[in-house]
């Protein structure tokens, strides 16, 4: 008996496992940690796990999203794109020279935002850096000058995705959790979500002190209203009362003065 295949549609929340290859068969991106290590592209600061996304949200390439809508849960598929439909052709105007100090300062700030010390960080070829609102790859470093390529790393290359839709995410609470994971992946599993007439989200301590949280919060509200429900969204910050240990002061007993017996 044939089993009914559930295909994807725009607005669906899905969990996706994928590998990205260039036209020569080189692995350039993956959600699988072992494949990343075997392919020599492992990054200790990256999280290797299936991603969650919303079809139609623009997070994936349009051709890939269109292909996913022909996929069933659990089905492995391939999708290929030429450079102009993938990450575009290379633009020489997107290769620029910046000052060493500016690049160094940006690298240090990025490390601190990621919760690291920022010590011993300096520009070197191959590193990614954020300058303004753009990310680029450092090409060369000379005295006082750093050449940064703001083209996408895959610009000018035909690519192939090998992917599998692992799950279609259902339910209001799980969809809100997916939106949080998309917009604020750091400690996303520590948010507490309550749904009903309103949606209440209790944020973890790490978000309270994260500079990127205010912008993420508005993105989360917008996505909830567009893809989940037009409800009031409440964010709760809880500061537990301080628990003080009561320490009883030990009374010091003064030794009694010694007296000599009368002779």
Which tokens is 243 given?
A: 């628990």
Indicate whether 217 pLDDT > 70: yes
What pLDDT was estimated at residue 186?
A: 86
What pLDDT was estimated at residue 241?
A: 85
DSSP string for 95-127: EEEEEHHHHHHHHHHHHHHTTS--TT----TT-
DSSP string for 132-172: TTEEEEEEEEETTEEEEE-S-TTTT--EEEEEEEEEEE-SH
Residue with tokens 């990256």: 46
| Higher pLDDT pick, 116 / 139 | 139
All residues at 6 or more sequence positions from 231 whose CB lies less than 8 Å from its CB, including other chains:
197, 198, 199, 224, 225
Indicate whether 213 pLDDT > 90: yes
All residues at 6 or more sequence positions from 229 whose CB lies less than 8 Å from its CB, including other chains:
172, 199
pTM of the model: 0.72
Which tokens is 205 given?
A: 């301590």
Question: What mean pLDDT do residues 194-212 have?
Answer: 94
Give dist(CA 134, CA 118) in Å, integer.
20
What pLDDT was estimated at residue 242?
A: 82
What pLDDT was estimated at residue 257?
A: 61
Maximum mean pLDDT: which of 77-86, 135-144, 245-254 = 135-144
Task: List 54's β-bridge partners, or say none.
Answer: 13
Indicate whether 80 pLDDT > 60: yes
Q: Fill in the DSSP letter of residue 241.
A: P
Task: List 259's β-bridge partners, or say none.
Answer: none
pLDDT tier at 182, thresholds 50, 70, 90 = very high
What pLDDT was estimated at residue 260?
A: 57
Percent of the chain with pLDDT over 70: 90
Task: List 53's β-bridge partners, or say none.
Answer: 14
What pLDDT was estimated at residue 116?
A: 74
Contact 110, 132 (CB under 8 A): no
Q: Fill in the DSSP letter of residue 215.
A: H
Question: What mean pLDDT do residues 91-103 have?
Answer: 92
Indicate whether 2 pLDDT > 50: no
Nearest alpha carbon to residue 200 among 238, 164, 162: 238
Indicate whether 27 pLDDT > 50: yes
The domains found in the chain, sorted by start residue, are: 1-89+155-170 (3.10.50.40), 92-149 (3.10.50.40), 171-240 (3.30.70.2210)
pLDDT tier at 68, thresholds 50, 70, 90 = very high
What pLDDT was estimated at residue 1?
A: 39
256 three-state secondary structure: coil
Name the average pLDDT for the chain.
Answer: 88
Indicate whether 220 pLDDT > 50: yes
Indicate whether 251 pLDDT > 70: no
All residues at 6 or more sequence positions from 216 whose CB lies less than 8 Å from its CB, including other chains:
183, 184
Indicate whether 20 pLDDT > 60: yes
């Amino acid at each position: 008996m044939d089993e009914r295949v559930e295909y994807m549609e725009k607005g669906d929340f899905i969990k996706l496992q994928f590998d990205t290859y260039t036209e020569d068969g080189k692995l350039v991106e993956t959600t699988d940690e072992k494949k990343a290590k075997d392919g020599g592209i492992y990054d200790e600061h990256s999280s290797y796990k299936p991603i969650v996304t919303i079809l139609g949200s623009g997070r994936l390439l349009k051709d890939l999203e269109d292909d996913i809508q022909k996929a069933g849960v659990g089905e492995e598929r391939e999708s290929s794109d030429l450079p102009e439909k993938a990450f575009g052709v290379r633009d020489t105007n997107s290769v620029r020279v910046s000052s060493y100090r500016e690049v160094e300062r940006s690298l240090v700030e990025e490390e601190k935002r990621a919760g690291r010390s920022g010590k011993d960080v300096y520009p070197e070829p191959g590193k990614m850096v954020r300058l303004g609102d753009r990310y680029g790859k450092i090409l060369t470093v000379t005295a006082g000058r750093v050449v940064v390529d703001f083209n996408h790393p895959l610009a000018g290359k035909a690519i192939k995705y090998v992917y599998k839709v692992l799950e279609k995410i259902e339910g209001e609470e799980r969809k809100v959790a997916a939106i949080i994971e998309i917009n604020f992946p750091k400690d996303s599993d520590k948010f507490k979500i309550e749904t009903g007439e309103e949606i209440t989200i209790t944020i973890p301590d790490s978000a309270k002190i994260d500079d990127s949280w205010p912008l993420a919060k508005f993105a989360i509200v917008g996505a909830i209203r567009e893809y989940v429900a037009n409800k009031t969204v409440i964010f709760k910050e809880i500061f537990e009362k301080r628990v003080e240990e009561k320490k009883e002061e030990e009374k010091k007993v003064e030794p009694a003065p010694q007296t000599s017996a009368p002779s």
